[in-house]
Structure 1
Amino acid sequence: MTVTTLPTVTYLALGGTIASVATTDPAHRSGAVPRLDAHDLLTGVPAIAETAHVDAHQLDLVPSPSLGFDDVQGALGAARRAVEAGASGVVVSQGTDTIEETAYLLDLGWDRPEPLVVTGAMRHASAPGADGPANLLAAVRVAVDPGARGRGVLVVLDDEVHAAATVRKTHTSSTGAFTSPGTGPLGWVTEGLPVFHAPAHRVPALTDHVAPLPPVALHRVSLDDDGRVLDALGDLGYRGAVVEGFGGGHVAERTLDAVHRLARRMPVVMASRTGAGSTLAATYGFPGGEIDLLDAGLVPAGRLDGLKSRLLLAVLLAVDAPPDRVHAEFLARGRSSSPQRRP
């Protein structure tokens, strides 16, 4: 009889919807709150024991809006220690509200080939059709799959595998809330097996410390915006800013002076508020168009959205990256297919 040795996976739990159950506790308002720890969640998915030996650790038990950079650093350090001790991969579960940010921040610090997989749930554990157990099982299966190695941090929900750099939460409650606009998922979990449709590729990690980070502002432009927020940012202690512009990266002419003043005080990244596609480089020549903004020294975000651009700029500022490296990192990580202008 052949004895099969199962791989080891480290499971790090932070709370969130996947760990939440409905409560009528008088000390709380009615509704779901995080209550289940890592061992509770594993016990609820016996099929995981057929996939891997899982070493579970409870790092926190909170809704994901309450997570911060220190929590991400704690998970990053625990994940690194786990693979150094021999784990084939690591799974992190948390609330879905901030997965697109925490996963990307983890990716900026994850320098190992072993898979680091982030998952969660859209329906709490006591809801009909709770998706947490299936997501956790799929995440473990991805974490031990050889095809997941060398891909950086992955996000697995609804049997889809997404890259941390592209994934977004695009619906408030659907179990299919997570998508990668413009690129699609890297792969799927089909009949229990991860299947990837592209070779493994990633941009190298930037740092092993993602906390503390300097403050970076994120401003989304809007119709008839007068720019007063931009003028205020320089006096609020921010070290950098991301402007989510109209379309391919544009602002109103009335705010152009404020953008220029801000760019003289700190690094400013130009992203798009659209949620898909790349910032433009050489199409529009009107005042406030992308040509004007790039000539003023703004850094094009490429395909990175404002949330991810904020994290990347903060990490680059934390490592004292000079302006030319900031441009180069956004060019590489934004993966833009259009030519980029330099200031």
Structure 2
Amino acid sequence: MKPRVVVFGLGGTIAMSATSSGGVAPKLTAEELVSAVPGLAEAEVDVEVVQFRQLPGASLTLGDIAALCDAIELRSSSADGFVVTQGTDTIEETAYLIDLLHPLVQPVVVTGAMRNPTMAGADGPANLLAAVVLAADPVARGLGCVVVMNDQVHAASRIRKGHSTNTGTFASPNGGPLGYIVEGTARILNSVRRPGSVPADLTKPPRVPIYTAALGDDDETVRAIAGKADGLVVAAMGVGHVPAQLVDALAETATTRPVVLASRTGSGPVLSSTYGFPGSERDLLARGLISAGLLDPLKARILLAAAISAGGDIRTMRRAFAVAGGLSNDESWPWKPDSEKIN
């Protein structure tokens, strides 16, 4: 029997066409996208198509992705894998949220396009074909959610968008790609730690802003943001540093809600004990902030929102970030192992 893959369309550049008022907007259906992919019929895959949303990537919400995961689970008994097409503006965030909410062994492969279908060299069809090929391949089982762009396979927890227009924009700074699509075949060459899922209820998502520390900051902006937040992610300088003027405000915030310390560099870890000045990583962690480890600020925000929605306390959140950020082993993951959830 042919492997069966369900393709969910969410909109994005891959589904855009010209509007009467100028520019492009999401208008093409998932069915139209799939039918326009050269070589898909020869791939020997049974493809089902679901038009789930029709939005630019920037307008998707945490609730949209939670609903998508519910729809995926409803079809899990009859599918070998899933593909999600969406806008690349938020693909590094939505893919990680899917990874945290998706407990099943079947892979979810997220893809999109940097060039819309009206442009020469549109990359959507090739990306969609590669995504379907991977989703149908048994080698992808157990990978969780991955992103396929430009014939590269990236773990949801690692991928970053590094250029606003280039088709080779996506990379995985901490660990590299998981593999590649070569001559229509998936080649997985790398592994990823995927500790487990989070039992989050995102019906009413928490408010979790990201504050980016910058040269000469004072504490007024931090206090204004934190006062209306359920949790806060600090995109700190370097290995986890902020101006000394921010320390008291961050420490006070950490007494009433979770504050996660990440690096604004986008790669490499937050350290724990190297620097000892006011505003250093050692100082901030001692004042109650939670280390994001290797998670960048965008990924840290997604995990924090999911953990808050799951009703986790500070101890639970520390354990989750220690595992997801590469600071602890998988056995420390605070929620039920996925192996107990998979049918």
TM over 0.5: yes
Within the candidate set 46, 51, 54, 2:47 is matched to 54
Query: Partners in 1 of 2:315 and 2:227 — Cα distance?
Result: 25
Query: Partners in 2 of 1:50 and 1:200 — Cα distance?
Result: 31
Within the candidate set 189, 192, 201, 2:184 is matched to 192
The residue correspondences of 1:10-89 to structure 2 (distance < 5 A) are 10-23=6-19, 25=20, 28=21, 30-51=22-43, 52-84=45-77, 86-89=78-81
1:216 alignment partner, SS class: coil
Within the candidate set 104, 108, 116, 1:116 is matched to 108
The residue correspondences of 1:121-270 to structure 2 (distance < 5 A) are 121-199=113-191, 201-207=193-199, 209-236=201-228, 238-270=229-261
- How far 1:208 moved relative to its partner? 5.8
Gaps of 5+ in 1: 338-343
* Residues 16, 117 of structure 2: 8 Å contact kept: yes
Matched, 1:311 2:302: yes
TM-score after normalising by structure 2: 0.92
* Residues 150, 201 of structure 1: 8 Å contact kept: no
* Residues 178, 192 of structure 2: 8 Å contact kept: no
Query: Partners in 1 of 2:62 and 2:174 — Cα distance?
Result: 28
Within the candidate set 3, 8, 16, 1:7 is matched to 3
Moved more, 311-320 or 187-196: 311-320
Query: Partners in 2 of 1:50 and 1:81 — Cα distance?
Result: 28
* Residues 17, 27 of structure 2: 8 Å contact kept: yes
* Residues 186, 198 of structure 1: 8 Å contact kept: yes
Query: Partners in 1 of 2:8 and 2:67 — Cα distance?
Result: 10
Query: Partners in 2 of 1:200 and 1:183 — Cα distance?
Result: 8
Q: Deviations over 1:272-293 (max 9, x none)?
A: 0001000000100011101100
Aligned residue identity for 2:323:
A
Where does structure 1 differ by over 3 angstroms across 4 or more consecutive aligned residues? 208-211
Query: Partners in 2 of 1:199 and 1:220 — Cα distance?
Result: 31
* Residues 82, 90 of structure 1: 8 Å contact kept: no
* Residues 15, 93 of structure 1: 8 Å contact kept: yes
- How far 1:199 moved relative to its partner? 4.5
Query: Partners in 1 of 2:62 and 2:75 — Cα distance?
Result: 20
Aligned residue identity for 1:290:
E
Moved more, 101-110 or 227-236: 227-236
Q: Percent identity?
A: 44
- Residues 49 and 209 (structure 1 numbering): CA distance in 2 closer, same or farther, change over 3 Å? farther
Query: Partners in 2 of 1:200 and 1:295 — Cα distance?
Result: 30
- How far 1:234 moved relative to its partner? 3.7
The residue correspondences of 1:90-101 to structure 2 (distance < 5 A) are 90-101=82-93
Alignment length (residue pairs): 327
Aligned residue identity for 2:250:
V
* Residues 64, 96 of structure 1: 8 Å contact kept: yes
- Residues 210 and 159 (structure 1 numbering): CA distance in 2 closer, same or farther, change over 3 Å? farther
